[in-house]
Amino acid sequence: MENKPKQTGKTLLITGANGFLGKNLIARLRAEGTHTLLPFDLDTPPERLAEYAARADFVFHLAGVNRPKDPAEFYAGNRGFTEHLLALLQAAGSKAPVLVTSSVQAELANDYGKSKREAEALVFEHEQKTGAPALVYRLPGVFGKWCRPSYNSVVATFCHNIANGLPIEVRDPAYRLPLVYVDDVVDQFLAAMEGRAPRDCSLPGFCHLMCDTYETTLGDLAKTIQSFSESRASLAVPDMGDAFTKKLYAAYLSYLPANGFSYPLAMHSDTRGSFTEFLRTPERGQVSVNIAKPGIVKGNHWHNTKNEKFLVVRGEGLIRFRRVGADEVLEYRVSGERLTVVDIPTGYVHSIENVGTDDLVTVMWANEPFDPQRPDTIYEKV
């Protein structure tokens, strides 16, 4: 068997290491465990930057200033720090590629946009002087876990406030905004590190993201995130077939308070046991948990269109079937010791009996949520 050469990792300088993008990028890189990381942020001793610049094979320049008290800080934090970093790279004779996160707001005439444009220009000049590739991304709004609320992300603010029962403000419901998911951005940055950064976009020299950009309105964004909070009571599952909803829901959950990860369900209990709905979807049906005491028989009904799946996860059960109008009874013995799914077909009277000595716990899936106006449940003994 041929021995493959061991992969050699890169030494990576990451500025803005404690920021939103920095945390997500570093978490991914540390999980992969291939590269040597040189994280740099406000709490890093300043003298280390020169050392890191001399050692780096690749630079992720993610640091920047978004909301200073004094507009002069835009220029010091965006243009000034970039200039300092590039000077250290040049002094070390570094040819390391420099990936820079700019913003679509660089097109605007405000101080933030101007400072970002000036930082971009410095990186392109660095490329011309040294030959070190300049990989400049003008990012739209980025959302996901670990983004700071009430700072520069409306998604983070809405998620945090709604998850914590705080009010939100929607100034212009019709305002449209483009958004990208942080994990998708990290994927693109890692591809750029490997030499696969697309630079053939509409802005000459700039890189562009080869991932989905989602456009929504502030009003729709607020409604969607609010629906996530309400889903605990309705038991509704967000539409995971929609990529934006799926990623937005993942982001929302990361803003739940430490004491808010769990929530109770309504258990419908009596002397026989209990029945508890867990999840409901309009297109994928309903999941419930049924608990039956020893000797108890549940069911003894049939459905015209509704169909179900039973999965006993604890105890010993006996599922009986009889086709409507027929005499023959079919029996399936099920147990939590050997997980087995039993389909409940339409037109068959069915029941489940606890034949063990402990509670019988059954996970039940129905192809449609229960509708009291159209229950499709006809009672008859097996």
Contact 97, 133 (CB under 8 A): yes
Nearest to 324 by CA among 301, 353, 352: 301
What's residue 1's pLDDT?
A: 44
Identity of residue 354: N
Q: Which of 75, 112, 252, 348 is catalytic?
A: 112
Give mean pLDDT, residues 183-202. 93
Query: Quick one: average pLDDT of 216-220?
Result: 98
The answer on pLDDT for 3 being more than 60 is: no
SS3 127: helix
**Of 74-83, 126-135, 159-168, 312-321, where does mean pLDDT reach its minimum?**
74-83
28/299 Cα distance (integer angstroms): 49
- State yes or no: is 255 an active-site residue: no
146 has pLDDT over 60: yes
What digits encode the pLDDT tens for the residues 17-75?
Answer: 999 999 999 999 999 999 999 999 999 999 999 999 999 999 999 998 777 778 888 78
Query: Which pLDDT belongs to residue 5?
Result: 44
Q: What is the pTM of this model?
A: 0.91
- With tokens 């009277």, the residue in question is 349
Q: Please, which pLDDT band fits residue 211 given cuts at 50, 70 and 90?
A: very high
* Inter-CA distances, 326 with 102, 321, 322, 382, Å: 72, 10, 7, 10
Between CA 62 and CA 64, with CA 63 as vertex, the angle to 5 degrees is 120
Buried b (16+ CB within 10 A) or exposed e, 117-130: bbbbebbeebbeeb
Residue 151 to residue 364: CA distance in whole angstroms: 44
| Cα separation, 265 vs 208, whole angstroms | 46
The mean pLDDT of the chain is 94
d(CA 350, CA 329): 9
Q: What are phi and psi of 204, to 5 degrees?
A: -55, 130
Phi and psi at residue 336, to the nearest 5°: -70, -15
Higher pLDDT, 213 or 76: 213
pLDDT grade for 7, boundaries at 50, 70 and 90? low
Check residue 6 and give its pLDDT.
Answer: 45
Residue 4 is predicted with a pLDDT of 45
> pLDDT exceeding 70 applies to what percent of the chain?
98
Residues 32, 78 contacting (CB under 8 angstroms): no
Residue predicted with more confidence, 271 or 4: 271
Three-state SS for 37?
strand
295 token code pair: 């000797």
Q: How far is CA 372 from the centre of its chain?
A: 34
Instruction: Report how far apart the first and last C-alpha atoms of the chain are (Å, whole number).
Output: 62
| Per-residue pLDDT tens digits for 62-118 | 998 777 778 888 788 889 999 999 999 999 999 999 999 999 988 888 888 899 999
Task: Examine the pLDDT at 129 and tell me if it is beyond 70.
Answer: yes
Q: Which of 62-66, 232-236, 299-303 shows the lowest per-residue confidence on average (mean pLDDT)?
A: 62-66
Three-state DSSP at 325 gives: coil
Buried b (16+ CB within 10 A) or exposed e, 162-192: bbeeeebeeeeeeeeeebbbbbbbbebbbeb
